[in-house]
Structure 1
Amino acid sequence: MSENRTRFRLDQRRAPIYEALEQFRQMRVVPFDVPGHKRGRGNPELTAFLGQQCVGVDVNSMKPLDNLCHPVSVIREAEELAADAFGAAHAFLMVGGTTSSVQSMVLTVCKRGDEIILPRNVHRSVLNALVLCGAVPVYVNPEVDKRLGISLGMKREQVAKAIKEHPNAVAVLVNNPTYYGICSDLRAIVKMAHDAGMLCLADEAHGTHFYFGGGSLPVSAMAAGADMASVSMHKSGGSLTQSSLLLIGPNVHPGYVRQIINLTQTTSGSYLLMSSLDISRRNLALRGRQVFHQVADMAEYAREEINAVGGYYAFGKELCNGNSVFDFDTTKLSVHTLDIGLAGIEVYDILRDEYDIQIEFGDIGNILAYLSIGDRPQEIERLVSALAEIKRRYHTDGTGLLSQEYIDPVVAASPQEAFYAPKKSLPLRETEGMVCSEFVMCYPPGIPILAPGERITKEILNYIEYAKAKGCSMTGPEDPDILHLNVLA
């Protein structure tokens, strides 16, 4: 590749997929291929709803537009630009969400019987990958902040202990950050993993903006030396829902990763999703540092205003202790609600139903308002005002409210073994002491309360019933009403 070609391909002002689609649009090609709506003509209702501009570029892979399964031209250029923007050795455009990215990451490093060290408060996509490949989790159970009831990061000494006790583990996986914005000491964990001959993987579903923090946000996985990272561009990066990136460092073979991705990812990659990744990467590369500085400032202002209301606790960097909370993502507006006598999910419902404000999630004790590149100060003011009014209207005694979000699991079998084992369905309360064979979780955030292979305890059953009663969206089991659970027969 010539020097001029290298400079051309690393010009972050370019968006190769977007440019190719615009050129294709002008060619007025007659479509005798899929999709069957034929640039929208065959589905006028869909075209009226989404617009001709959108359906006109919902096209199939073809030579001028490259192919996601084996990119050689514009998609390859887009991936090289993404790798450059994010400081990675290679980047993969992912159209199956960060779930697909996380699963590809785990499937790349793990095979049946391998051990992988990870915190238990991972997204279900991590455990789904273990069901698929047969790897065995070695859990580092995080500490819990007793006031907030949330799980924290992994302590360095916990990771060191797990590595020492499981020297044949193939990798350590880290949340960077957790849903609530809490970060472990990623640089130290990467070093410990590498010193032990293990890889380090990062679930950065909620950390896209770390790559454009300019030192004011926690360290990104690639900057910390991690080997692989799943980056959810559609969350804080501005791309369309379901679009994501998988980043790898220099010690992971990109050809093998592509093979792993192609085991599960669609062969009909959406050009709407890919072009949104391309355009969003360009936007972040050119303006990300300035934009995320403004987002962090807005979140800090909101924290101060919410805490001034009283009763609520919008937590931030004061939680940092140098270990289990090594750093905090200041763009995350997480608010503890129990002191006004309301569960987080109750505040979530009131905000939506009575104030037309949709926040990211509410759980037993907290809410999360997700701030990113599209937020404006006037919306922050509206949220703060609504929370103040909710406190005035609904404040009550919080006696009897549960606070604990995280319950240490008792692991009795590997996720794959339990998921595929003979099973039976029992009424919820009759499952105490049995081994679960399916997932149970509140979504969002999608962190399992129970995963296949874990023993069902009275504490867990109490939590499930309490979360259901408070209105949490419960997902996972075969029984949609979660009146029964599947357990090992």
Structure 2
Amino acid sequence: MAELSQTNAPIYEALRKFRRMRVVPFDVPGHKRGRGNMELTEFLGEDCMNVDVNSMKPLDNLCHPVSVIKDAEELAAEAFGAANAFFMVGGTTSAVQSMIMYACKEGDKIIMPRNVHRSAINALIITGAVPVYVNPDVNKKLGIALGMSVAQVEQAILDNPDAKAIMVNNPTYYGICSDLRKITELAHAHGMLVLVDEAHGTHFYFGENFPVTAMAAGADCASVSMHKSGGSLTQSSFLLLGKNINADYMRQVINLTQTTSASYLLLSSLDISRKRLALSGREIFAQTVEMAEYARSEINEIGGYYAYSRELINGDSIYDFDVSKLSIYTLPIGLAGIEVYDLLRDEYDIQIEFGDIGNVLAYISVGDRKRDIERLISALAEIKRRFGKDGADMLTQEYISPVIAETPRKAFYADKLSLPLEETAGEVCSEFVMCYPPGIPILAPGELITEEIIEYIKYAKEKGCQMTGTEDINIERLNILDF
């Protein structure tokens, strides 16, 4: 590492050198630097198509890196304060699944909050690991699940001393953080690994006054969505390892599912973005927080809306809050979050990250401009004036604690019966039902379907939430276990 520093971007530099070589391609991809698909080249540009190349000696191989990718991984590990870092081209989904596949075999227990991303439950289906859910506390006003209570985690450990790992969402989609240091200390004291879904926390590593990072808290693994707040291309992420994880075995685990044809567009975007954040992250995220704080203040001045922040902190299930997140509660103006989301897009040409039953999230980054923030604030004020109404009869419950009847793996692969949604109460679901984003299941395989859940699904559909996960694309029927 002596000859390399954070000013380097080894993959990017190798691609630039390769492009100057004018190599004649008799390998894949078949578009041959764009010449074979001119419409695509005109759309994406020659520069892009020229570096959409296959693995070769000068460019290394993601499955078994020995040169430029290895160097880039070492620089990433250094930048994030990790023992090792892996470039992930299957998104943070792939990183989450690799963490769980590393920690758990069939029948092993893993303690996790139920409000995990579907990728974590997918990993349970793949591995056959058994979840021990810690149902998070809920802020009943906002209708959102909070972080993991330390007392709940401790009880889960005492009740399940044979569990192999604990998984933590940190931060949640809404910006809420658990007491990660204390949870990590507890887990390690009982011989359990700590896996952190840090998809929304890239900026924690590079900015100031953010919640503690997974690596600084002593966690064993963290999955980081560099493409969210880190500026890389969609689908590119990092998997970070602590010092007690066998990196060579982890690479074998990753290679079970990750492509052997890694995109150099994604790899170079991770490399360049890591360099940018390592050199300028403090200034970048100071600017981001300044914009988010300004927007929050102005939105709260409108009245009705509630853009929440650190005032929610309770020292436990809300141990800290990510102030770069612009999460806004909408029910007081008589509109569901998803309705505000749709109005912003359809009436004002503003695309925000997501809307659920009671909240919206506007993702703020250094790519935003002050005038964009002003336009969002003005649009929200107009939506309240034009479309706001009495909030009576609005459904407020966002998170519903599930009843677990079967393991996700057994339920997913079991014989199934399809029933109309209204007739499924009391049955055990064998598929996912979720709003995406954020991709946290309302129902997961193996969970009991209740009248409350059916009401919630119907209400979410009526309000326009984008529902996914079911075999029936219209979600008029659900697959249940056919005992």
> Which range, TM-score by smaller chain?
over 0.9
Say yes or no: does 1:177 pair with 2:175.
no
The alignment's TM-score, normalised by the length of structure 2, stands at 0.99
**Range moving further from structure 2, 375-384 or 132-141:** 375-384
In structure 1, the partner of 2:307 is: 314
Say yes or no: does 1:422 pair with 2:415.
yes
Where does the alignment leave 5 or more consecutive residues of structure 1 unmatched?
A: 1-5
Shift of 1:212: 1.0
Matched positions, count:
482
- Cα deviation 1:291-334 (Å, max 9, x = unaligned): 11111111111110000000000000000000010000000000
Say yes or no: does 1:19 pair with 2:1.
no
Say yes or no: does 1:374 pair with 2:367.
yes
Say yes or no: does 1:301 pair with 2:282.
no
Shift of 1:270: 0.2
In structure 2, the partner of 1:3 is: none
Q: 2:476 corresponds to which letter in structure 1?
A: L
Say yes or no: does 1:99 pair with 2:93.
yes
In structure 2, the partner of 1:129 is: 123
| C-alpha contact 1:149 1:405 (8 A) present in aligned 2 | yes
Q: Which runs of 4+ in 1 moved over 6 A?
A: none
Q: 1:273 corresponds to which letter in structure 2?
A: L
**In structure 1, what is the Cα distance between the partners aligned to 2:347 and 2:120?**
36
In structure 1, the partner of 2:353 is: 360
Q: Where in structure 2 are the equivalents of 1:240-259 lying within 5 Å? A: 240-259=233-252
Say yes or no: does 1:327 pair with 2:356.
no
Of 369, 378, 389, the residue aligned with 1:396 is 389
Question: Does the residue aligned with 2:2 lie in a helix, a strand or coil?
Answer: helix
- Cα deviation 1:71-108 (Å, max 9, x = unaligned): 00000000000000000000000000110011011111
Of 198, 215, 234, the residue aligned with 1:222 is 215
Q: Where in structure 2 are the equivalents of 1:63-74 lying within 5 Å? A: 63-74=57-68
Q: 2:241 corresponds to which letter in structure 1?
A: I
| C-alpha contact 1:149 1:365 (8 A) present in aligned 2 | yes
Question: Does the residue aligned with 1:100 lie in a helix, a strand or coil?
Answer: helix
The alignment's TM-score, normalised by the length of structure 1, stands at 0.98
Question: Does the residue aligned with 1:8 lie in a helix, a strand or coil?
Answer: coil
In structure 1, the partner of 2:155 is: 161
Q: 2:376 corresponds to which letter in structure 1?
A: L
In structure 1, the partner of 2:404 is: 411
In structure 2, the partner of 1:32 is: 26
Question: Does the residue aligned with 1:39 lie in a helix, a strand or coil?
Answer: coil
**In structure 2, what is the Cα distance between the partners aligned to 1:8 and 1:445?**
42
In structure 2, the partner of 1:7 is: 2
Question: Does the residue aligned with 1:251 lie in a helix, a strand or coil?
Answer: coil
**Range moving further from structure 2, 289-298 or 341-350:** 289-298
Q: Percent identity?
A: 71
Shift of 1:373: 2.3
Question: Does the residue aligned with 1:401 lie in a helix, a strand or coil?
Answer: coil
**In structure 1, what is the Cα distance between the partners aligned to 2:193 and 2:76?**
22
Say yes or no: does 1:142 pair with 2:126.
no
Say yes or no: does 1:238 pair with 2:231.
yes
In structure 1, the partner of 2:274 is: 281
Question: Does the residue aligned with 2:215 lie in a helix, a strand or coil?
Answer: helix
- Cα deviation 1:425-461 (Å, max 9, x = unaligned): 1111111100000000000000000000000000000
Question: Does the residue aligned with 1:222 lie in a helix, a strand or coil?
Answer: coil
Q: Where in structure 2 are the equivalents of 1:100-115 lying within 5 Å? A: 100-115=94-109
Say yes or no: does 1:60 pair with 2:54.
yes
| C-alpha contact 1:237 1:373 (8 A) present in aligned 2 | no
**In structure 1, what is the Cα distance between the partners aligned to 2:276 and 2:263?**
20
Shift of 1:290: 1.1
Shift of 1:404: 1.0
Shift of 1:376: 1.6
Shift of 1:7: 2.1
**In structure 2, what is the Cα distance between the partners aligned to 1:290 and 1:218?**
17
Shift of 1:482: 0.4
- Cα deviation 1:142-183 (Å, max 9, x = unaligned): 011011000000100000000000000001100110000000
Shift of 1:473: 0.1
In structure 1, the partner of 2:284 is: 291
Question: Does the residue aligned with 1:369 lie in a helix, a strand or coil?
Answer: strand
| C-alpha contact 1:79 1:90 (8 A) present in aligned 2 | yes
**In structure 2, what is the Cα distance between the partners aligned to 1:140 and 1:290?**
37
**In structure 1, what is the Cα distance between the partners aligned to 2:246 and 2:283?**
34
- Cα deviation 1:215-243 (Å, max 9, x = unaligned): x1101100100000000000000000000
**In structure 2, what is the Cα distance between the partners aligned to 1:141 and 1:296?**
30
In structure 1, the partner of 2:114 is: 120
Q: 1:7 corresponds to which letter in structure 2?
A: A
| C-alpha contact 1:418 1:436 (8 A) present in aligned 2 | yes
- Cα deviation 1:17-56 (Å, max 9, x = unaligned): 0000000000000000000000000000000000000000
Question: Does the residue aligned with 1:221 lie in a helix, a strand or coil?
Answer: coil
> Aligned-residue CA RMSD in angstroms?
0.5
Question: Does the residue aligned with 1:7 lie in a helix, a strand or coil?
Answer: coil
Question: Does the residue aligned with 1:224 lie in a helix, a strand or coil?
Answer: coil
- Cα deviation 1:184-224 (Å, max 9, x = unaligned): 0000000000000000010011000010123x110110010
| C-alpha contact 1:340 1:398 (8 A) present in aligned 2 | yes
Q: 2:2 corresponds to which letter in structure 1?
A: R
**In structure 2, what is the Cα distance between the partners aligned to 1:190 and 1:386?**
42
Question: Does the residue aligned with 1:388 lie in a helix, a strand or coil?
Answer: helix
Where does the alignment leave 5 or more consecutive residues of structure 2 unmatched?
A: none
- Cα deviation 1:366-411 (Å, max 9, x = unaligned): 0000011211211111100110111111110010111111000000
